[in-house]
């Protein structure tokens, strides 16, 4: 059952219950065919306000911007499962609360969660996955030193410096993308919650070591894979996923990194909306 309350600016706040009883909150706005936005690590649904991305999508689709568990207003179970599996169920719960076929849009770790949920969903119209972090031994080795530096900063109580290091050196934000999120009103909240939101996901990735893409070889839903030309190992992840999926297309944003939608929102939303239209 979906619980709905009125919000401001034409938005509604809704809550659904995931398989394990965790409450997942999403914000609904706009009109048109439904889309579900799944944010990345260390953020929450408010991150889609950077560059007015949510409002741009809301001009063409009914946007359902969800908070992943442990983020924003959604529930936080006492024990982390060690895998992303429960979060797949969270996305499924949101999508199944929507009557019509849905476009699923995920960024970063949210794209990984959206990817994992996709084979479990019957009413998908299309999928947009912006650089899901496909883990491998080689990629983990490349960022291991940075993770160590980040952990040392956290232990010293320097959360903001640790978050900046993560976004710059691991998440591959370009400098203008980093400036865009740092200037947003949500930045202070992300600094405060950084340790609680990121570390469990890093630990899950470290334990998994290799992310198996075999289950997605038959995922025939039309899929767009945006990627930044400057995204390094995350661009490699997008290209590997493109080679796996039978019905995917890469869209490269030249000169941008892992968050092109922050600084080139019109180009990003035009690319996504055009793809959604073509997928009909």
Give every residue of the chain whose pLDDT is below 70, as ranges: 1-10, 80-82, 203-210
Q: Which residue is associated with the tokens 């979060």?
A: 87
Output Rg (C-alpha) for the chain, integer angstroms: 17
Q: How far apart are CA 74 and CA 25, in angstroms?
A: 5
| Residue 102 CA: distances (Å) to CA of 34, 54, 61, 136 | 5, 16, 10, 30
pLDDT of residue 10: 66
Break the chain into its structural domains and give their ranges.
Answer: 3-135+213-279
CA 272, distance to chain mean position in Å, is: 15
Quote the tokens at residue 241: 């996923």
Q: How far apart are CA 162 and CA 88, in angstroms?
A: 28
Burial class from Cβ neighbours inside 10 Å (0-12, 13-18, 19+) for residue 229 reads middle
The CATH fold assigned to 3-135+213-279 is Rossmann fold (3.40.50)
Name, in order, each residue with C-beta under 8 angstroms of 226's C-beta and a sequence gap of 6 or more.
128, 129, 130, 131, 238, 251, 252, 253, 260, 268, 271, 272
Output the CA angle 110-71-187, nearest 5 degrees: 95
Q: What's the predicted TM-score (pTM) here? A: 0.93
Name, in order, each residue with C-beta under 8 angstroms of 200's C-beta and a sequence gap of 6 or more.
70, 80
Q: What is the pLDDT of residues 156-209, one digit of tens each?
A: 999 999 999 999 999 999 999 999 999 999 999 999 998 888 877 776 655 555
Per DSSP bridges, beta strands 12-17 and 3-6 are antiparallel
pLDDT of residue 35: 98
pLDDT of residue 205: 59
pLDDT of residue 231: 96
Per DSSP bridges, beta strands 223-228 and 124-130 are parallel
Quote the tokens at residue 160: 């903001």
């Amino acid at each position: 059952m979906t619980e709905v309350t009125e919000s401001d600016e034409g938005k509604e706040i809704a809550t659904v219950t995931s398989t394990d009883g965790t409450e997942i909150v999403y914000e609904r706005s706009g009109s048109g065919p439904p889309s579900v936005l799944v944010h990345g690590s260390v953020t929450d649904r408010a991150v889609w306000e950077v560059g007015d991305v949510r409002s741009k999508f809301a001009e063409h689709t009914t946007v359902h911007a969800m908070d992943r568990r442990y983020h924003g207003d959604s529930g936080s179970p006492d024990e982390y499962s060690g895998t992303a599996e429960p979060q797949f169920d969270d996305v499924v719960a949101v999508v199944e609360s929507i009557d019509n076929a849905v476009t699923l849009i995920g960024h970063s770790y949210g794209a990984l969660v959206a990817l994992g949920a996709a084979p479990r969903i019957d009413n998908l119209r299309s999928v947009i996955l912006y650089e899901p972090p496909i883990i491998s031994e080689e990629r983990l080795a490349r960022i291991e030193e940075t993770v160590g530096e980040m952990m040392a900063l956290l232990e010293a109580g320097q959360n903001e410096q640790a978050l900046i290091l993560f976004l710059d050196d691991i998440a591959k934000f370009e400098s203008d993308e980093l400036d865009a999120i740092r200037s947003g009103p949500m930045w202070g909240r992300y600094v405060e919650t950084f340790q609680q939101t990121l570390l469990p996901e890093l630990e899950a990735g470290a334990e998994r070591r290799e992310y198996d893409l075999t289950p997605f070889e038959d995922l025939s839903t039309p899929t767009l894979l945006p990627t930044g030309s400057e995204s390094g190992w995350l661009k490699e992840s997008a290209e590997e996923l493109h080679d796996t999926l039978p019905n995917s297309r890469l869209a490269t944003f030249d000169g941008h990194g892992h968050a092109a939608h922050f600084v080139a929102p019109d180009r990003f939303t035009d690319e996504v909306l055009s793809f959604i239209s073509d997928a009909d």
